[in-house]
Chains A and B, each alone.
Chain A
Amino acid sequence: MAENCAIIGIGQTKYAAIRKDVSLPGLLREAALRALEDAGMTFADMDAIILGTAPDMFEGVMMPELFFADALGAVGKPILRVHTAGSVGGTTGIVAASTIQTRTYDKVLCIAFEKQSESDAMWALSPAIPFQPQLVAGAGGYFAPLIRSYIRRSGAPEDVGMMVAVKDRQHALKNPYAHLHVDETMETVRNSPMLWDPIRYSETCPSSDGACAMVLVNEKIGKAHPKKPAWVRGTAMRTEATFFSGRDQINPLAGRECAKDVYSQAGITDPAKQIDTAEIYVPFSWFEPMWLENLGFAEVGTGWKWTLEGKTKLGAELPINASGGVMSTNPIGASGLIRFAEAALQVRGQAGEHQVDGAKLALGHAYGGGSQFFSMWVVGDSPV
């Protein structure tokens, strides 16, 4: 029997374009200390540290966890560094949970971060690779054609992407940690410059500095904790290759199978009915309807209707990204773990102004690479 894994500590930094007030270790400590305080623990209580971040070139430090060992209280302990592209935050949470579920450790700190202001992610994402065209287009340049395909396939009206941007930015106003606090309207989005057709400036995630940390413990410690923990009810990851002519990048099989796996572990047969809220990785507005379909919330070709009908707003049927999501905060390596942490906050009833009433079961989702790496977890307000 697997051990149950409880989340008893969650800590986030204030996210911003440039956190000039803290060094790299300072940024990580801000999140880690908040998570430990929430858990009523200290660094000394941790058995191990699981750290995730996206490409090291974003900060210019190779394998930065080595440099962070002192600041994270890891001295004399195991530290494991996960890197699975954009999905890394999610995978970090999964690996951390795995160490508890297999009884490898009893208490672990998992942490993910990015300090995008230390370098230029657009540059780091556009290297000149021998025998490949240099795109110099960043992530938006890669994903815009996929979005155009989605629009063509589904016949979705052009407004849908803008509606996602407005909704997520309005949600972010209720989240004190969010990077963007902008009173976005359909007009402000429509009037923002077109970057990669059909993605406008305001339909794009920001570049953020930030870190997110969680304290994960076994069932015994979780049950004894004075505050209500979130319980891991399922975890899954799936990968498919970047270049394979048989794959559908609009509705990737890896995403569908990952969702199926995590739902079956959590006993979910009808995700739209059973899941109360989801934090899904939406770096460009249109990925909300695309992932609603990939995750099995909506029938293929109909995800956009959910957005159009307002079903994904806070207070509606299935609030998506009540925190404001990646559209409002994007420290790349941390973004997946923030999704997982926000899902946990919801089932703990700790999400403050952006709390989804009575949330008992929540999904955290992350993806990366060319829509090819997927990590998901389902958390609940009870172990089973």
Chain B
Amino acid sequence: MSQPIAIVSVAQLPSIRRDRTRDEAEMVQPIVTEAMQKIGLKQADIGFTCSGSSDYLVGRPFSFVAAVDGLVTWPPIRESHVEMDGAWALFEALIRLRHGDIDTALVFAFGKSSLGPIPDVMNVQNDPYYVQPLNLDSFSQAALQARAMIDAGKATERDFAEIVVRNRRNAKSNPNAQVKGDFDVEAILAEKTISSPIRKSFSPPLSDSCVAVVLASGDKAKKLVKRPAWIRGIDHRIEPYSLGVRDLTQSVSTRIAAEKVGVNAKKNDIAEIHTPFAHQEILIKEALGLDSSVVVNPSGGALAANPIMATGLIRFIEAATRIHAGEANRAIVHATSGVTMQQNLVAVLEGE
């Protein structure tokens, strides 16, 4: 049995709509340095480095290669990259740590959502032969799912508005959030629809940010910090791509992953879930089987800050921060990917 693995340090660049001053390397360098420095580590002390990002956000191939220039890679390092949200980079790093020959790993993710027309770019995730020509952009994708939920009697537009208000109110105490404050349900419901029933406020902001996590195993984690956030379980699953064969009002993959990691084996204090569109929070809470005592998205979630490809890893960071501070003892983390949440990851973090 391999050593338990924990999150021992985190760092975030505050999410903003448009960062005109930094390229990939300039976003990565200060944040990974901060995450390591907080616990007295340097790149040379790190056993494995893994990142998550997508070329299509930046509109260039090998965008992660440019990010590597933000690391200290001399002498050369053990390094890998997933073209996925950083939450899956954390998963790869965790597997690497299970070998036991190294005891620290650095994980980072960056999302520069300001460089292109993101809602249209997200159509490129679709089947290139039959669906991309229809231009199923991110609003239309979300609308299909939100409409299906309303039709199934699972939620109303008012529920969606209330979710937005609560998340953005929670974000008021989050220095890294982009959209925060006291919003009004009636005003949100009075907004024009972009793709019915999706309104601007039901949608996530687009953010530029870079975030980093340091993982450590066993005794090393205990040596580095007083209260590591132990990753007690992690699992991820995918659903069919074809929208026509999925019940969009269910998150089957989240449910499988939640069972595998034992989400409800103990009492949960908080859950940080990756639900960019308001209606998705209802789906994921249901699939995770969370009871009403669990505080969902104390950070404000993806409705408050959404650097695409980093938003999932931020869920780990927000949950771990509260465990490090002793504010929570058990946290559920969820990350999503793909059209209408096709792929989902669930993890359990514990302070003890």
A residues adjacent to B (C-beta < 8 A): 2, 23-24, 54-63, 66-70, 74-85, 91, 95, 98-99, 101-104, 118, 124-125, 127, 129-131, 236-244, 246-247, 252-254, 257-258, 369-370, 372-373
User: Is residue B126 contacting chain A, with contact meaning CB distance below 8 A?
Assistant: yes
Provide the residues of chain A in CB contact with B237, threshold 8 Å: 76-78
User: Is residue B235 contacting chain A, with contact meaning CB distance below 8 A?
Assistant: yes
B73 near A240 with CB under 8 A, answer yes
A80 near B241 with CB under 8 A, answer no
Q: Give the residues from 228 to 250 in chain B that come closer than 8 angstroms, CB to CB, to chain A.
A: 235-242, 245
A239 near B73 with CB under 8 A, answer yes
Question: Measured between alpha carbons, how far is A2 from B101 in the docked complex, in Å?
Answer: 10
What are the 4 tightest A-B residue pairs by CB atom distance, in nearest-first order?
Answer: A55-B61, A254-B76, A102-B98, A239-B79
B82 near A99 with CB under 8 A, answer no
Pick from A67, A247, A254: contact of B126, CB under 8 Å: A67
User: Is residue B91 contacting chain A, with contact meaning CB distance below 8 A?
Assistant: yes
Residues A104 and B98 in contact in the complex (CB < 8 Å), given A24-B128, A66-B343, A369-B65? yes
Min CB gap B236→A, angstroms: 5
A66 near B338 with CB under 8 A, answer yes
Provide the residues of chain A in CB contact with B99, threshold 8 Å: 2, 98, 101-102
A55 near B62 with CB under 8 A, answer yes
B68 near A239 with CB under 8 A, answer yes
Q: Place the interface of chain B in its size category.
A: 35 or more
Min CB gap B19→A, angstroms: 13
8 A-B pairs with C-beta separation under 8 A = A55-B62, A56-B124, A57-B56, A62-B56, A70-B240, A76-B239, A102-B2, A239-B73
B252 near A76 with CB under 8 A, answer yes
Provide the residues of chain A in CB contact with B245, threshold 8 Å: 70
Residues A241 and B68 in contact in the complex (CB < 8 Å), given A24-B128, A74-B238? yes
User: Is residue B92 contacting chain A, with contact meaning CB distance below 8 A?
Assistant: yes
13 additional A-B pairs beyond A56-B55, A67-B125, A75-B240, beta carbons within 8 Å, are A60-B128, A62-B54, A62-B124, A62-B125, A70-B245, A78-B238, A81-B82, A81-B83, A82-B92, A83-B83, A127-B61, A237-B79, A258-B76
Beta-carbon nearest neighbor of A127 in chain B: B60
Residues A80 and B84 in contact in the complex (CB < 8 Å), given A61-B128, A75-B239, A238-B76? yes
B129 near A66 with CB under 8 A, answer no
B73 near A244 with CB under 8 A, answer yes
A239 near B76 with CB under 8 A, answer yes
Min CB gap A90→B, angstroms: 11
Provide the residues of chain A in CB contact with B339, threshold 8 Å: 66
Provide the residues of chain A in CB contact with B242, threshold 8 Å: 70
Provide the residues of chain B in CB contact with A246, threshold 8 Å: 74
Question: Measured between alpha carbons, how far is A95 from B70 in the docked complex, in Å?
Answer: 24
Provide the residues of chain A in CB contact with B71, threshold 8 Å: 241
User: Is residue B80 contacting chain A, with contact meaning CB distance below 8 A?
Assistant: yes
Provide the residues of chain A in CB contact with B219, threshold 8 Å: none
Bitwise, B62-89 to A at CB < 8 A (1) or not (0) is: 1011101101011111111111100010
B128 near A127 with CB under 8 A, answer no
Min CB gap B137→A, angstroms: 13
Min CB gap B316→A, angstroms: 17
Provide the residues of chain A in CB contact with B65, threshold 8 Å: 85, 242, 369-370, 372
Min CB gap B98→A, angstroms: 4
Q: Give the residues from 299 to 326 in chain B that come closer than 8 angstroms, CB to CB, to chain A.
A: none
User: Is residue B121 contacting chain A, with contact meaning CB distance below 8 A?
Assistant: yes
Provide the residues of chain A in CB contact with B125, threshold 8 Å: 61-63, 66-67
Min CB gap B252→A, angstroms: 7
User: Is residue B342 contacting chain A, with contact meaning CB distance below 8 A?
Assistant: yes
Provide the residues of chain A in CB contact with B83, threshold 8 Å: 56, 63, 81-83
Min CB gap B21→A, angstroms: 12
Question: Measured between alpha carbons, how far is A73 from B124 in the docked complex, in Å?
Answer: 22
Min CB gap A112→B, angstroms: 13
Min CB gap B269→A, angstroms: 27
Question: Measured between alpha carbons, how far is A159 from B309 in the docked complex, in Å?
Answer: 48
User: Is residue B9 contacting chain A, with contact meaning CB distance below 8 A?
Assistant: no
A63 near B73 with CB under 8 A, answer no
Question: Measured between alpha carbons, how far is A247 from B76 in the docked complex, in Å?
Answer: 10
User: Is residue B96 contacting chain A, with contact meaning CB distance below 8 A?
Assistant: yes
Pick from B76, B91, B240: contact of A240, CB under 8 Å: B76
Question: Measured between alpha carbons, how far is A252 from B73 in the docked complex, in Å?
Answer: 12
Min CB gap B270→A, angstroms: 25
Provide the residues of chain A in CB contact with B241, threshold 8 Å: 66-70
Provide the residues of chain B in CB contact with A76, threshold 8 Å: 237-239, 252-253, 256
Pick from B66, B95, B343: contact of A102, CB under 8 Å: B95
Provide the residues of chain A in CB contact with B69, threshold 8 Å: 241-244
A66 near B238 with CB under 8 A, answer yes
Question: Measured between alpha carbons, how far is A240 from B294 in the docked complex, in Å?
Answer: 44
Min CB gap A80→B, angstroms: 6
Question: Measured between alpha carbons, how far is A61 from B122 in the docked complex, in Å?
Answer: 10
B80 near A82 with CB under 8 A, answer yes
B92 near A80 with CB under 8 A, answer yes
Beta-carbon nearest neighbor of A131 in chain B: B23
Provide the residues of chain A in CB contact with B79, threshold 8 Å: 84, 237-239, 373
Min CB gap A216→B, angstroms: 13
Min CB gap B56→A, angstroms: 4
Question: Measured between alpha carbons, how far is A257 from B56 in the docked complex, in Å?
Answer: 32
User: Is residue B337 contacting chain A, with contact meaning CB distance below 8 A?
Assistant: yes
User: Is residue B184 contacting chain A, with contact meaning CB distance below 8 A?
Assistant: no
A238 near B96 with CB under 8 A, answer no
Provide the residues of chain B in CB contact with A54, threshold 8 Å: 61
Question: Measured between alpha carbons, how far is A253 from B92 in the docked complex, in Å?
Answer: 25
